[in-house]
Amino acid sequence: MTKFGDPTFQRHVTAASIWGLLALHLADDELLPFNYVSYANELQACTKDFKDDISRKGINLTPLYKSIQDLEKAACKINSQIKELKEITGWASKWRKKDPIEVRELNDRLMMAERAFTDRDGLLGRPWYKHLVYAPSQYNDYGSRCFPGIDDAINEAKRLNTTELWRRVQHEVWRVSRAITQASLVLSGELK
């Protein structure tokens, strides 16, 4: 490093400063900085990526679309609750203080919603990957894919083209839909 990479260590100082500021920001924020509306929009876009591949095989994506819509509604609801809580600053803060229990409850819902995307059994053939929405594909360990279980099942079904494997694709769609529905229920406060 002292000879070629960063002889004056300026890049190291800059990177450490950025990571330090990020850590301070996260530690000092009252509410976790999650935006599930953009998450839902990203999931909607990811669904379109493989729609053409499986629509001809009779795979029903309706549960997935419905669960993503429910997630978006729940995300809008919690975003409005967060906005209301953040508006207590300024002149209104003299009369009404932020309820620490309300802040804790919102943070718990945001955190537990992310955990709802996981499954204890993990991905088929790779149980160490628990997240059903984002994980590396079986065919590309370097890049993260949306719905890796569905993606892996589609690739396997295309390769061998058997009815059993196309049923597995439908099963993976149901698994992911269930996880997204659970996340939306957690966000809306219906599931704890």
Q: What is the pTM of this model?
A: 0.84
- Residue 62 tokens read as 């309706």
- Residue 65 tokens read as 């679309």
Residue of 139, 128, 130, 110 lying closest to 176 (CA atoms): 130
70 shares its domain with 16:
no
Q: Give how far Cα 116 sits from Cα of 78, 95, 105, 110, 151, Å.
A: 16, 37, 16, 10, 20
- Based on the structure, what is the number of domains in the chain? 2
- HEC-encoded secondary structure of the chain: CCCCCCCCCHHHHHHHHHHHHHHHHHHHCCCCCCCHHHHHHHHHHHHHHHHHHHHCCCCCCHHHHHHHHHHHHHHHHHHHHHHHHHCCCHHHHHCCCCCHHHHHHHHHHHHHHHHHCECCCCECCECCCCECCEEEECCEEEEEEECHHHHHHHHHHHHHCCHHHHHHHHHHHHHHHHHHHHHHHHHHCCCC
Q: How crowded is the C-beta side of 121, counted as CA atoms within 13 Å?
A: 8
117 shares its domain with 142:
yes
| CATH number, residue 146 | 1.20.930.40
The maximal CA–CA distance of the chain, rounded, in angstroms, is 67
108 shares its domain with 155:
yes
4 shares its domain with 98:
no
| Domain coverage including residue 64 | 34-188
Digitized pLDDT (tens) for each residue of the chain, 192 residues in all: 667 777 888 888 899 999 998 888 877 778 888 999 999 999 999 998 888 778 788 899 999 999 999 999 999 999 999 888 887 665 655 555 678 888 899 999 999 999 999 999 999 989 999 999 999 888 777 777 789 999 999 999 999 989 899 999 999 999 999 999 999 999 999 877
50 shares its domain with 5:
no
18 shares its domain with 111:
no
101 shares its domain with 17:
no
